[in-house]
Amino acid sequence: MAITVKNVSSATVSLLVPVLKFRRELPPGREVPLSQEVYEELTYSAGFSKMLKNHYLVLKGVEEDNAAEVQEDTSTVYGRDEIAKMMDDNNPAVFLKFIKDARPAEKESAVQLAVEKNLTSGPIPALIKQYCGVDIGKAAFMQS
């Protein structure tokens, strides 16, 4: 099975393996295949491991025993589309369950989506302020 890595964050991520002259820029949502050799080199990178652990990146096609070396947490990863749907559904109980245990990449996406949607009042922005430390009203004002 082919190994792929997908950027599930809301920022562009760079993968770099100088020894193999490998460099890829992954904009949000982009998925790229990795050769076994590139994957093995990336597993030695603390930055790559941290991006996997914090759910900025998601690996597919890695054997379970090898994946455990890099990615310890196998909980659900929420992408921008799922987070946007939660916001659109406007169900504070569901959003609370998500945001209180969200990974840094998921929190970053939630903040950016709330600013893009101009959600400045109500329970969703209040939960974002409580769990992410960002006042959406101020953030939206600063962007305009």
Segment 87-122, tens digit of pLDDT: 999 999 999 999 998 888 888 889 999 999 999 899
Sketch the domain layout of the chain as residue ranges.
3-70, 80-143
71 pLDDT exceeds 70?
Answer: no
Cβ count near 90 (within 10 Å): 12
pLDDT higher than threshold 80 for residue 56: yes
Distance of CA 110 to the CA centre of its chain: 10
What is the share, in percent, of the chain residues with pLDDT greater than 70? 90
Would the pTM of this model clear 0.95, i.e. be above it? Answer: no
Helix count (H) and strand count (E) of the chain?
Answer: 8, 5
What does DSSP assign to residue 15? E
